[in-house]
Homo-oligomer: A and B are copies of this chain.
Amino acid sequence: MGGSGASPGRRPQRSRDPEARRAALAAAAIEVIAELGIARTTHRAVAARAGLPLGATTYYFPTLDDLVAAGLALATEALRAELRSWAGRLDTAEDLPSALVRLVEEYLTDRRRVRLEYDLYLAAARDPTLRPLAEAWLHGFRDLLEPRLGPEAARAVVALLDGAMLQALVTGIDLDSPALTTAIRRLANSRS
């Protein structure tokens, strides 16, 4: 028996740039997800974060799931962009293993972001909605290395780095870069 609303009096009604509002909400959504996790993400939290009224969330996104999905799409795109930038930087790298470790180190600098992305990545184990993001990461990363390492080593290195990042995230301890570089080198030698 949905609500109605008697005589609401005066209401401001700002903006008028729907596209910007959609984007702002999606951005706010991903921030809230990063902070509280998907399960604690609410319309209210997203609206507050975006500095928009509550009604805006449901106006632009019929359900909370839609809102969350918009946030996830944003995160997925950011991940893809990240990987594209890695690709560029690895192309010009002389020593792949050390360049790779440098990239990962840098990536881990933004702890909040990494935590978000791994959260979503793992959550894909439960929630099919998140598969695209997980695949973006997994395949994107792998495709990055395959041309230089071959399929076998590429997979192994991706797993190694995935594990290392996960551990860094969980423990809060920085990567042991030299050791990691050595390990990558060992896995990569399959080629030779």
* Interface, chain A (partner B; CB < 8 A): 1-2, 37-42, 64, 115, 118-119, 121-122, 124-126, 134-135, 138, 152, 155-156, 158-164, 166-167, 169-172, 176, 179-180, 182-183, 186-187, 189-190
| CB-CB nearest in chain B for A183 | B156
Nearest Cβ distance between residue A47 and chain B, in whole angstroms? 14
Which residues of chain B are within 8 angstroms of A124 by Cβ–Cβ distance?
A: 170
Whether the pair B186, A126 counts as a contact (CB closer than 8 A) is no
Whether the pair B187, A37 counts as a contact (CB closer than 8 A) is no
A42 to B3, CA, bound (A): 10
| CB-CB nearest in chain B for A176 | B155
Which residues of chain B are within 8 angstroms of A190 by Cβ–Cβ distance?
A: 182, 186
Contact of A160 among B64, B135, B159 (CB under 8 A): B159
